[in-house]
Chains A and B, each alone.
Chain A
């Protein structure tokens, strides 16, 4: 914050006009105090107020209602998606039928072949639980 004096007061007046509300917040208090103490600053402020008043005469009519309607019509907001749309987007992201069809076919083939392989291995592999149970029954000389 600049120290307030006549030179600084005049600079601010020249830039922002007579209304202290338009002045930088940190300078309003010192400026108000300076105004109270300086008749010269009060005179300068009155002159600046004349230009402010002239500027304030330049008020404009609001834009036509049609412009607002046009802009509302031009508003493109992101629409909330349904779960079907979300699923469809996921499908597209995954490549759609181009990738999904071969993957589906491969799944079917694996589904058909894998059980056969598992059956054969089931015959070859001893059931460890069953062997343990038989061994236990032998030890106990138990017959059902």
Chain B
């Protein structure tokens, strides 16, 4: 989609004109999706809350000065959440001993839509085991539904490199799920 077709522009214009209703529109449109992005990247609902707080405070500051034509506002929000999530993961790594990182968020597991569904829990654990870049690629493309071009831009990769990263992510996740006894057939 061309950034001049950005569906968020009317809401941004309302904010620029002093109408807080524009903020409400942007929250309705993006909060759930961005919260899910941060939750899956961080494997923590509380951390996702804080990332969304930071991201939307930045959005309120940015909206009145937003220049249409450079990027879609939603893409910019994804980039902000991605960067804030990376910062948190980096801080976790620096503040915890290596063997504790994997268990760091056990007390604050994401709240699943269907309770403690066994398959969902296994997928969550499988995602958590993926290398950070693979997890980012899979979450952006599969869960966030970004196009390959959008995801490649956010990850600062070529589309070919993104495809390679995605293929490795899916292969590793399949192996992790197989290891947990969730057979998904032979790897492609």
Q: Which residues of A contact B (CB under 8 A)?
A: 10-17, 22, 24-25, 44, 46-48, 50-52, 54-55, 57-64, 67-68, 70-72, 74-80
Contact = CB atoms under 8 A, between A and B. Distances in A.
Interface string B14-58: 011111101110010001100110011000010011001100110
Interface in B92-121: 110-114, 117, 119-120
Contacts of B113: 59-61
Contacts of B57: 71, 74
7 contacts: A15-B170, A22-B141, A57-B119, A71-B23, A71-B52, A72-B27, A78-B18
A21 B31 CA distance: 24
B60 A60 contact: no
Interface of B: 15-20, 22-24, 27, 31-32, 35-36, 39-40, 45, 48-49, 52-53, 56-57, 60-61, 63-64, 110-114, 117, 119-120, 122-124, 127, 138, 141-143, 145, 147-148, 159, 162-164, 166-167, 170-171, 173-174, 177, 182, 184-188
Contacts of B45: 63
Contacts of A72: 20, 23-24, 27
Contacts of A77: 15, 18-20, 22-23, 60, 63-64
A38 B151 CA distance: 30
A64 B35 CA distance: 10
Given A14-B171, A60-B110, A63-B52, A75 B20 contact: yes
A51 B53 CA distance: 33
